[in-house]
Amino acid sequence: MCIEFKDFRLLDRLFELKGNEAYLLNMFTFEEFRGKNLAPYLRYRSYEVLKQEGKDTFYSTTAYFNNSAIKFKKKLKTKRLKLYLSIKLFKKFHWNYLVKKYSN
């Protein structure tokens, strides 16, 4: 898993993080260990370590049709914040549109 502590860009969109926030990306389980329900435990342990570092708010992004990642995040009881549509044309033109804000 990779973790960002500073502002970062994803799909040409700037995400600004506060001092207590972290962005978690690229969580995966090696194929030989899949199906053993390890990923939620790994993510939970990551939360514990980050809390020791003073981070108490965590963000991540998920592709809309990535069903395994969505299922994984449901196990962690994550909250959806926003849904974006990202369009990239010829690796040159890029647009992001806010489709929906979820209420908490």
Q: What are the tens digits of pLDDT across the range 50-91?
A: 899 899 988 888 888 888 888 878 877 888 888 888 888 898
DSSP 29-62: --GGGTTSS-HHHHHHHHHHHHHHTT--EEE---
Domain-embedded: residue 86: no
Domain count, the chain: 1
Q: What is the pLDDT of residue 20?
A: 92
Pick the most confident of 20-29, 68-77, 88-97. Answer: 88-97
Domain residue limits at 52: 2-78
Q: Give the C-alpha separation, 53 to 5, whole Å.
A: 11
Give domain status of residue 33, yes or no: yes
Strand 57-59 relative to strand 82-89: parallel, antiparallel, unpaired? unpaired
In a domain, 49, yes or no: yes
83 occurs within a structural domain: no
- The answer to whether position 36 is within a domain reads yes
Q: What is the pTM of this model?
A: 0.70
With respect to residue 62, please indicate whether it lies within any of the assigned structural domains.
yes
- Residue 97 covered by a domain: no
What number is the average pLDDT over the span 91-104?
A: 84
In a domain, 104, yes or no: no
Residue 24 has pLDDT above 80, yes or no: yes
Residue 102 has pLDDT above 80, yes or no: yes
